[in-house]
Every structure is written in C-alpha cells, then in structure tokens.
A = this chain, B = another copy of it.
Amino acid sequence: MSNWRNALFAPRCVAVVGASATPGKAGTLFLKNLTAQESGFKGQVVAIHPSARELLGAPAYSRLDAAPTGVDLAVIVTPAASVPGVIEDCGKAGVPVAVVITGGFAEVGPQGAELQRRTLEAAAAQGVRLIGPNCFGVISAGCGLNASLSIGLPKKGGVSLITQSGAYGMAAYSRSMDEGVGFSKIVALGNKADLNETDILAYLADDPETTVIALLLESIRDGRRLFEALADITKRKPVVVLKTGRRPAGQRAAASHTAALSTDAVVVEAALRQAGAHVVEDGYALLNVAAALDWQPPLRGKNVAVITNSGGVGVELTDLLEEKGLAVPALSRELQEALARELPAHGSAINPIDVTTDWARFSRMYGACVAQLMESDEVDAVVPVLLQRSALMEEVSAAIIDAQATARAGGSQKPLHICWVAPRAADSNRARLLSAGIPCHLWPAGAATALAALRTRPAADLPPPLDAIASPGAVGPDGWIATADAFSLLARQGFSVAPFVMAASAKQACAGAAELGFPVVVKAERAGLTHKSDQGAVRLGLCDEASVARVYEDFCARLGPGPALVQKQSPAGLELVIGGRRDASFGPLVLFGLGGVWVEALNDVALRLAPFGVAEARAMLDELKGGKLLDGYRGAPPIDRNALAGLISELSRWFAAAGWVSEFDLNPIIGVGETFTMVDARMRAVSPR
C-alpha cells in the first residue's frame, strides 16, 4: 500500500513503535486506544518493543520488518533522539506513513530543529510520509481507528478536523460526548514537518464520509497553495477555519510552543474569506459551526426569522444578529396574517414572532410557525428561541422536530437553529433536538455568533490568466523603475495614465507643457527619488511656461541636474489608491482604498490575492468603511462602481502576470464618474538574487 492516504485513514495494520504496558506511558496509552474493543477497529495492531512477545494482548516484535503482515501505519512514541532511526526502519519495512507523537523537535529550539531536519531527511530518503512530530495523533472514526491521545472515539459524523493544537483533538471528543457532534477524521498536525494542512485538506475534499472540514491553524506552510485548495474545495464542501496567532502577543506565544512563523493576520483573513471559507475567531465557534454545517443546510442569505416566547430576548437576539451583518426583516403583510392566525391577540407576527407567555399553546404555535417559515422565501433561516418554559416542555421540542421533518420531506433547504436559554433541567429536550440534527446555541450571543459565521461569500471563479508581461530593460537602484517607464508600461497595457512628456531641459519642459495644455504638474526624475512629494520634487498647478521653466531650474539647483516629467494636471475627483505586493507565503496581493492621508491613517483598505475578477473587486468596494464616498458624497459626482471594479480586477490580472514586479503603488488615481486617471505610479522590480 504505497498511498499514504489509505494507509493513514484505513490501515490494515498499525504498529506502535515504543509500545509499553507500563501505566502512565504514552506507549501504553496508544496501544490501549488502538486495541479498545468499543472502537471496533478491524485492522491488526502490533507492538514494537525490544524484548516483549506480546503487550496488552497485541503481538509484539522487536523490529517493524518482523511483523508478518506489512505495517501500513507506524505510530511513534519513542524518545526524540531515536526518531530519525525509527523512520529509517519504517522505510526499510515499507511503511508508507508514520505519525510521530514524540515532542522535543523544532518547538524546543535549535537542537530540536536539527533533529527535525534529520527526521525529515530520513523520511524523504525512504519515501515515508510523516504526520507531526509533536502531535496528538490521528483518528478515523469510520474504521474505528484511534491512533491518538484521546481516551475514546468520538461519535461518528460528518465533521473532519485538522488541528495544529492537540487540545482541540481532545476537545472534539468532549464535544462529541456532551453535544453529540459527530466526527469522521481528526488529524493533529503538530510541527507539520512533512504533511501539512493542504495535504490533508485535499484528501478530505474527496472523502465521502466528510461533509464539512474544520481547520485550526497556528501557522500556514504555503499560503498560496492553501488558498487555491480552499477556493476549490469550498465549492463542494464547507470549510470552517480558525487561524490563531493573529496578534503579536499571540504570535509570540505560538512561536514559543510550536515554532510557528508569524503570518500577517490581515492577509490570512482576506485569503480565507476570498477562498469561501467560514472564518471564525475561536475554537468553540470552530466546532459549533462545523457541527451546524454537518447537520443543517447552508445559510444562503442574510434574512433570519426569530420565533420567541420572550419579547425581550427577541429584541436582544435581533440586535446581535444585525450587529453581525444579518437581518431580521419585517415579514410581508401576507405572511404576518398567516402567522397571526396561530398567535394570541397580543402576540406579534412582524418578526421576531412573539408567541407571548401563553404556554398552553406553545407546542402548536412553535410547530406551526416553524412549518410556515421553513416554506417561506422571505427568510433564509429559522431560529426559534426556546427559553425556560418552552425549553422545559418536551412537546415543544417534539413539535419543532416534527416541523423540521415535514419541511425537509417537502424539500425545504432552509437551516433551522435553536437559541437555547434554559436551565440544565431542560437538558433532555436539548439532547433530543441535537439528536434530530438541530443545533441549540447557548443564549442569544451564541446563536448570533454561530449564524454570522454560517454566512460566507462563495469563492469566485478566477479570471483567465494573462500572458506573462515582459520586464522593462532599465531598473534603478533598489529595483525602482522610473516613473515615466512605469507610466509607459501601464499605458501600453491599456490603462489610462495622465498625459505626460519627459523633458531634459527647461526648454523642452516648456514646449511639452504647451503641447499638453496648462495647467501642468512638473515632477523631478532622479534615480532613488521615490518619495517625491516629501522631497519637494513635485509642483502642481503651473499655469504658464515661465513657471514651468522656473520649477525645472529649481529642481536642478536643489536636486542636481536631471530630467523632469511634465504632466497634464487632472481635474478634481475622488482620490483612489490601488497597490500590490508579493507576499512570501500568499503570493501577489492587491489592495484598494480611498486616497488621502486620513484614510491611510485609518487603514481603510480591502485586500485580495491576485488575480481576481470583477465580482470580487465589487465586493472590495463594499468592504470599505468609507465606501459611501464612492456614491457621490456631499454633492460630488458618483463613481461608476462597475468601471472601478473592472480597473481593480484588470490591475490584479496584470500584477499576477507581471512576475518581475515586486510591488506597485498607484496613489492617487483620480476617479470622476467612470474615468480613472493614474497620476502617480511607483513600481519596483523583484531584486535579482
């Protein structure tokens, strides 16, 4: 079996290297977990031990190649120093994949990093793939495989978890026991010396037992590869992602325990969202949202119907949902009338649907309202609040479960989620609802957090790539490209730049200005002069040739001899910024923002991985906090959003194709209606290696 995937998730024979029968030892725990009757693992489990013939009922051998049937999966718990040798043994015994539980590698410092390097080297030489080192292990619930530190197998279900934190492997088991969350595969990545998140994602994407993937990352091995995998997978299967180590102190903490490299949190979040992932901020939400996506259809829009037996909690939940970008719209008169027929006189059918405290009718009212709303096109999700008495009444839960069954039989694909505000005394009803696949989020805050995370923007198709765009010949010091060259290059590519001429003398400058028409802008061009405004190398609003000549001479006097760029001054308009850079992990990024020092100070920009299409660029416009300026704020003419999105998308395609450009900054671009004129351009070539 040369495929590491099948060997890892459905092994015929697993060996515990470093197995033991001494209580408290990892080798004992793994042997017990793998052979536990209740797990139902049908494969063979063997122990690798220097002297024993049998350990805890499993046959023991001194070497991996002594096991009679070939070992598919080696679980290694021997001391760190021995691991490179064990990996070599794996190779010799034809073991395709090893899970290295042992810690003491890159996470503990340079010596450990060297040991990890040697381990990886041995693995590469022998063709053995590795999970870990320094990890919690692997679970494959479908075949009963518990090659992990978890004290039992979680309930079977559709959630597969890839986690860089072993604690969440353990937490998965707790959630499974306490909340009925069902799991298929759990893979702890540890230091991910070899196999990483993207390798496992690719497998789970096609795994029929996995309906939703939960991914907890502290670091990202190859951002672009992860992005591309996610953008592909999320079209078929939801992926929920928690990235920790977002803040400097969090990164410091991550560095101190798994040697994780820091990644720019803003870039990571932009990439995950662009790829269509459900991005969450904490581990509770990660598992909770994944379970909800396993049980319920996805959320297709933002409109939520709330049914409540407490007006006050209805108000609270409405606030929280709206603050998180969802909506609780007033229902149509028609639907209100239909719902009102079920309600007492003082109830409300507007939304939230307030069934009042008329508990004698709770089960009928909840059932009927859920049924009607599950069929309605006016809302995208139905959220009954079960609070105290309604939660304590078994018949209310039963009515909701029935209403769901009927709606699903009738083809409804609307998600149903409960907002649960009840004492422990109502837990049996909660268990009943969970068994029926209806999530019961705790209190309004929990419901709002989960529902908000369910909403995602599907990954857009990528635009067709452009042919590679050649580099200009001349590159200044540090890779900076002369403004005139940058303008010419952009103009050749079809972008609209402000008309200009290059002048090598005051006379040429005057002639050029006359040709362009006044007023003009004159900019000194000198190698290394990259912040022209700050260095007094730009003069705006020159209205005659005498002024132009004076400015040219002044530049020469102050900045040394050299040419000047004479540019037709653009009419007033909205200042925009489009720029790009290449991230070491995620590749080409393009940002868009409104210009001006204020917005720069507020860092109000939208970011995407390039290239991207017009739809994605439109979404960038909607993301800006100051986006209403595009609509003609204070009497200015509105900007054509489609035209602007087209420009941003085209620049993203150009940047992706112009691999020799390391960064660029078009600041400002003057926007007037559907016209966008680039009036300054900084561009830098990738520095030669």
Instruction: Please report A residues at the B interface, Cβ cutoff 8 Å.
Output: 24, 103-104, 107-108, 163-168, 170-171, 173-174, 177-178, 216, 218, 242, 244-250, 252-254, 256-258, 281-285, 310-316, 318-320, 322-323, 327-330, 346, 348, 350-352, 354, 357, 360, 387-388, 421-425, 442-446, 448-449, 534, 594, 596-599, 601-602, 604, 625-626, 628-629, 633-635
B247-A283 in contact (CB<8A): no
Within 8 Å CB of A601, what residues of B?
Answer: 626, 628-629, 633
A24 to B389, CA, bound (A): 13
B598-A629 in contact (CB<8A): yes
**Which of the listed residues A165, A598, A633 has the most CB atoms from chain B within 10 Å of its own CB?**
A598
Given A283-B444, A284-B444, A284-B445, 18 other A-B residues pairs in contact with their CB atoms under 8 A: A166-B357, A167-B421, A170-B388, A174-B422, A174-B423, A242-B316, A246-B323, A249-B319, A250-B318, A250-B328, A253-B348, A253-B350, A284-B443, A534-B634, A597-B634, A601-B626, A601-B628, A602-B602
A313-B283 in contact (CB<8A): yes
Within 8 Å CB of A256, what residues of B?
Answer: 311, 348, 350, 354
Offer 22 A-B interface pairs, CB within 8 angstroms, sorted by A. A167-B421, A168-B312, A171-B387, A174-B424, A244-B312, A244-B315, A245-B319, A247-B322, A247-B323, A250-B315, A250-B319, A250-B328, A252-B330, A252-B350, A253-B328, A256-B311, A257-B315, A257-B354, A597-B634, A599-B602, A602-B602, A602-B626
A318: nearest chain-B partner, CB-CB? B250
**Minimum CB–CB distance for A391 against chain B, Å:** 10
B165-A310 in contact (CB<8A): yes
**Minimum CB–CB distance for A188 against chain B, Å:** 10
**Which of the listed residues A108, A250, A285 has the most CB atoms from chain B within 10 Å of its own CB?**
A250
Within 8 Å CB of A352, what residues of B?
Answer: 253
A249 to B327, CA, bound (A): 8
**Which of the listed residues A166, A312, A319, A388 has the most CB atoms from chain B within 10 Å of its own CB?**
A312
- Residues A166 and B310 in contact in the complex (CB < 8 Å), given A315-B218, A444-B282: yes
A627: nearest chain-B partner, CB-CB? B601
A311-B165 in contact (CB<8A): yes
Within 8 Å CB of A444, what residues of B?
Answer: 282-284
A173 to B597, CA, bound (A): 54
**Minimum CB–CB distance for A218 against chain B, Å:** 6
A310 to B252, CA, bound (A): 15
**Minimum CB–CB distance for A336 against chain B, Å:** 11
**Minimum CB–CB distance for A331 against chain B, Å:** 12
A168 to B387, CA, bound (A): 10
Within 8 Å CB of A216, what residues of B?
Answer: 312
**Which of the listed residues A315, A444, A446, A594 has the most CB atoms from chain B within 10 Å of its own CB?**
A315
B348-A244 in contact (CB<8A): no
Within 8 Å CB of A167, what residues of B?
Answer: 310, 312-313, 387-388, 421
A422 to B635, CA, bound (A): 58
A635-B247 in contact (CB<8A): no
- Residues A249 and B318 in contact in the complex (CB < 8 Å), given A257-B348, A443-B284: yes
A173 to B601, CA, bound (A): 49
Within 8 Å CB of A594, what residues of B?
Answer: 598
A354: nearest chain-B partner, CB-CB? B257
Within 8 Å CB of A449, what residues of B?
Answer: 445
Within 8 Å CB of A312, what residues of B?
Answer: 163-168, 216, 218, 244, 257-258
Within 8 Å CB of A284, what residues of B?
Answer: 442-446
A575: nearest chain-B partner, CB-CB? B598
A285: nearest chain-B partner, CB-CB? B445
A606 to B354, CA, bound (A): 36
**Minimum CB–CB distance for A570 against chain B, Å:** 18
**Minimum CB–CB distance for A195 against chain B, Å:** 18
Within 8 Å CB of A252, what residues of B?
Answer: 330, 350
Within 8 Å CB of A626, what residues of B?
Answer: 598, 601-602
Q: What 8 pairs between A and B have smallest CB-CB spacing?
A: A165-B312, A257-B311, A167-B310, A174-B423, A250-B319, A282-B445, A284-B443, A598-B598
Within 8 Å CB of A170, what residues of B?
Answer: 387-388
Within 8 Å CB of A313, what residues of B?
Answer: 165, 167, 283
A457 to B357, CA, bound (A): 39
